[in-house]
A = this chain, B = another copy of it.
């Protein structure tokens, strides 16, 4: 099937082959959507009706917490249970986008050669904006492709990353003992987005302490959602310890989402976030195009010279962006 996919396949061809299970068509469609090809966007609109089945799981936590290893192990566990898996890594420190320790690489190669798994790394730098929009588009394509579980791995620092994590049905926040700043990072607000907490590297000395600290924080935090108190799962991802329990917890969370009605509420909320991401992306692209023009460049130079102020220029830019559409 794949061998016969022509180079100049239309987006409509790609979309129908994607629905028929062609991995190469999926990969090309992702690239076409990311590149903003209008015909691909049109197809994405049609594919949307075919989505909504996958369990979207966010995995977030600071660099060094072992998110990628955990994500890999989760994927292997899901595969062992006969589920197909998509992985979207939105993490500049992710080994998916570069180096990893040898053991991880071997396991990742296992995943790479498994047709039941599809991985994609998102570029998090260079392009201003658009990350949230692109990530959510890729999640939808993996969902339409028929993946049972789609995992989004993000660094839990930065607004875009938190936004992306919030778009998941179930969000895992990963911490590790003795990272020093780690507990701070968790304190600073990320705890409230956790549906399941993981203490990874639970064989290290400080693990019990971290578990009890997290328990206290959960009690001090906002009241738990009716019927769901975020569990704390201890894992040693490098050894696969605790991963089966984690998969059980994720499944329980999905059951709770569906039985409580939260599944629909979360989908509506994530629709709102996605719409917002699309609109912001469009506005940012208009802005980029507009502000590269010579007229505006001259005004920025006059701000630099303190002849004008950025607030007044911003008002004019806002008028220009909202008037000359597209």
CB of A190 closer than 8 Å to a CB of B: yes
Q: Does A179 contact B (CB under 8 A)?
A: yes
Alpha-carbon distance between A208 and B39 when the two chains are bound, in angstroms: 51
Q: Is the CB of B128 within 8 A of A275?
A: no
Q: Could you say which residues of chain B place their CB within 8 Å of the CB of A276?
A: 287, 291, 317
Give chain B residues whose Cβ lies under 8 Å from the Cβ of A303. 267-268, 271, 274-275
Residues of chain B lying within 8 A (CB to CB) of residue A311: 41, 44-45, 48, 278
A180 at the interface (CB under 8 A from B): yes
Partner of A310, one of B94, B125, B278, B309: B278
Assess whether A97 is in contact with B159, with CB atoms less than 8 Å apart: no
* Number of copies of this kind of chain in the complex: 2
Is B93's CB under 8 angstroms from A185's CB?
yes
Docked-complex contact A306 and B48, CB < 8 angstroms: yes
Residue A264 CB within 8 A of the other chain: yes
From known contacts A268-B304, A271-B303, infer whether A184 and B287 are also in contact, taking CB-CB under 8 Å. no
A321 contact set on B, CB distance < 8 A: 279, 283, 322
A to B CB contacts below 8 Å, 17 in the list: A45-B309, A63-B63, A63-B180, A63-B181, A95-B184, A99-B184, A124-B188, A157-B158, A158-B158, A264-B304, A268-B300, A269-B300, A271-B301, A271-B310, A274-B303, A278-B314, A322-B322
Contact call B184/A92, Cβ cutoff below 8 A? yes
Given contacts A45-B311, A97-B184, list 13 more A-B pairs with CB under 8 A. Answer: A41-B311, A92-B188, A93-B157, A124-B158, A157-B158, A157-B161, A268-B297, A271-B300, A274-B314, A279-B283, A280-B280, A280-B284, A283-B321
Nearest residue in B to A278 (C-beta to C-beta)?
A: B314
